[in-house]
Structure 1
Amino acid sequence: MAGAEPGVVWAGTEPGAVFRSRDGGETWDLERALWEHPHRAQWSEGFGGQAFHTVLPHPTDPGSAVVALSTGGVYRTTDDGASWEPRNSGIRAEFLPEGEQYPEFGQCVHKVARHPSRPERLFAQNHGGVYRSDDEGGSWTSIAEGLPADFGFPVVVHPHEPDTVHVFPLGGAGGRYPPDGRARVWRSRDAGESWDELGEGLPDGFFVGVLRDAMCSDDHAETGLYLGARNGTVWASADAGRTWRLVVADLPDVVCVRAAAY
């Protein structure tokens, strides 16, 4: 993930660590303050392992970045990586015992997205829960009402509209099947206050296994949206998700397919 400065590139890894390059990827440095964070010993693993899958450099402030991992939560630095603070207030960890479900850290975040023109706004898809923050993770509000399920992996903002966000709800055994067996993308145009079901052309009875970065927007097309699935298929929509068509089939079975056009 590129940062606000030319030549600065960030990378998250498994096991949970974040690296940064200041020379376009020629050399890399471990974000040591995060690696040595006192919370790290208590970070757990999701079913997919422990990994920093989300790295969001601030689009205008080179000293600021937001990262997220499964299982550990959302963290932010504002001092160029010298320190990192948890940013999880209001995010429920449903897998913890009753009375302990709103910890300072330890949430199983599946993905966080932000819009470059409104960097203080974040959207998060969790292992149980869809959230919005309007203060860069200082507090979170549930926006799952109206969705058929609050479990999922990708969350995608529109490249030009900061109030437009897409999710792909999953349920069933291990959270791998769409509710009712209907593969559908859900879109909100009012920052999660309401949702519309989209997906004409996506199959019913579809084993999806959509993970993390498997849905993304095309920054160069106002209405381009792509969806990759673990069964080796890639689907594309040219009308903001209303209708879909199969564009790639029979790729080798992989953990995740990310499709994008540049």
Structure 2
Amino acid sequence: MGTSDRLSVATRKGLFLLERGARGWEIERCAFLGDPVSLVLDDPRDGTLYAALALGHFGVKLHRSDDRGRTWTELPAPAFPPEPGGASDAPSVQQIWALEPAGPDRPGALWAGTIPAALFRSGDRGASWTLVRGLSDRPERKDWGGGGYDQPGLHSIAVDPRDPRRLLCAISTGGVWGTADDGETWALRATGMYAEYMPPERREDPNAQDVHRLVQAPTAPERLYAQHHNGVFRSADGGERWTEITAIRPSKFGFALAVHPRDPRTAWFVPAVKDERRVPVDGKLVVARTRDGGDTFEVLRDGLPQDHAYDLVYRHGLAVDAGGDRLAMGSTTGGLWISEDGGDRWVQHPARLPPIYQVAFGQVALG
């Protein structure tokens, strides 16, 4: 695939759709203005747009567009089924926190991750959803805890491009879980991670790991990167074993992560100060890039604010397009930066946007 000329930006007050033309990146339209759009999927299989809204006491909404956001169709949002025996204590979905295509050879099939942490599947472009019981019924679920939210959330879904029955999911806080049989059975995949915030006896408990973001290398799916609450980790065997990346600077804390679409040794992170502050180190917004799988890092700052910058980049706020050179990054203060050269230099978009939850490139051209 080549370079993408369209970008979706999900914010606290709407979904902004940008296209790149002769005058650079311009906002073509805004959908759901004033509403918090928690997530967007620009499906690379057919160009369909999906937008998830988190409307508080009005509930979670899901919409689909087949014409690049000009018109939208409301879909049923993923929902927990009634408890057995008619019990009334079934949880309610508070947010859709992950939305991914279920494989290139499965048209219309989708995976969705939610808060509270659960995985749902759809086979009909979001027209209906089914809870993946194999994960939700795991006994370890009772020990999952909230990370940035009061309840645990499933925020990262990595589908193996070689075999769509194999996928990994990351939960904050509940570790990494993997399945090889399309969600029927699951196993923990966080061995080698550690949690500084846990008592010593649970420090290396795979079920206690707070993974902020999990991303798979598209051309080498066995290679994985994870931004954890207290470190950056990598795996070379599909998550069976993780090792810490200690070379990252200026800090090991952060949320966002992107991996090059063709070079599995190139990845980008956005370091910050953790816990009670959650701001860039020394008030300087930077991106850390590795080109050797995490052995060494460059700190990229050209075009990024270096004086009194307090922009935090959420876990879905950094994206790389299919070409591998174009990146986009959005922050909690509404800053949007785009790089055309792998992060060497960044240009800030002039729009003053609401706080940004996610940026996502479109990967196919519509007629």
Coarse TM-score class (shorter-chain normalised): over 0.9
Alignment of 1:62-211 (within 5 A): 62-171=164-273, 174-204=276-306, 205-211=308-314
Partner of 1:213: 316
- Pick the structure with more strand per residue: 2
Which secondary structure does the structure 2 equivalent of 1:258 belong to? strand
Q: Show the counterpart of 1:21.
A: 122
**Residue 80 (structure 1) shift:** 1.5
- Cα separation, partners in 2 of 1:33 and 1:248, compared to 1, 3 Å: farther
**Residues in 2 aligned to 1:112 and 1:253: alpha-carbon distance in whole angstroms:** 22
1:15-54 paired onto structure 2 within 5 Å: 15-49=116-150, 50-54=152-156
Unaligned runs of 5+ in 1: none
Partners of 1:187 and 1:198 within 8 A in 2: yes
Deviations 1:135-172 (A, max 9, x none): 11100011132422111001110122111010011106
Q: Which moved more, 1:21-30 or 1:86-95?
A: 21-30
Relative to the length of structure 1, the TM-score reads 0.94
CA contact (8 A) 1:3 1:58 kept: no
Partners of 1:253 and 1:178 in 2: CA distance: 16
Structure 1 residue 2 corresponds to structure 2 residue 105 = no
| Aligned partners of 2:147 and 2:172 also within 8 Å | yes
| Mapped partners of 1:138, 1:120: distance in 2 | 9
Secondary structure of 1:18's aligned partner? strand
SS in 2 for 1:120: coil
Q: Is the 8 A contact 1:73 1:106 kept in 2?
A: yes
Aligned to 1:223: 325
Instruction: Describe the SS at the equivalent of 2:314.
Output: coil
1:54-104 Cα deviation digits (max 9, x unpaired): 011111212111001100010000111111101111101110023431013
Structure 2 residue matching 1:183: 3-state secondary structure:
coil
Task: Identify which range, 193-202 or 40-49, moves more after superposition.
Answer: 40-49
Structure showing greater Rg: 2
TM-score (norm 2): 0.68
- Structure 1 CA distance for aligned equivalents of residues 181 and 128 of structure 2: 21
Q: Which residue, out of 235, 238, 249, partners 2:351? A: 249
Give the number of equivalent residue pairs. 260
**CA pair 97-260 structure 1, distance change in 2 beyond 3 A:** same
Q: CA RMSD in A?
A: 1.5
Give the 4+ runs in structure 1 shifted more than 4 A.
none
**Higher RCO structure (Cα 8 Å, ≥6 apart):** 2
Distance apart, 1:25 and its partner CA = 1.7
CA contact (8 A) 2:215 2:257 kept: yes
Q: Against the structure 1 CA distance between its residues 61 and 108, is the aligned structure 2 distance closer, same or farther, given a 3 Å change threshold?
A: same
Question: 2: distance between equivalents of 1:257 and 1:63?
Answer: 26
Contact 1:55-1:68 at 8 Å conserved across structures? yes
Cα deviation for residue 48 of structure 1 reads 2.8
- Aligned-residue sequence identity (percent) comes to 38
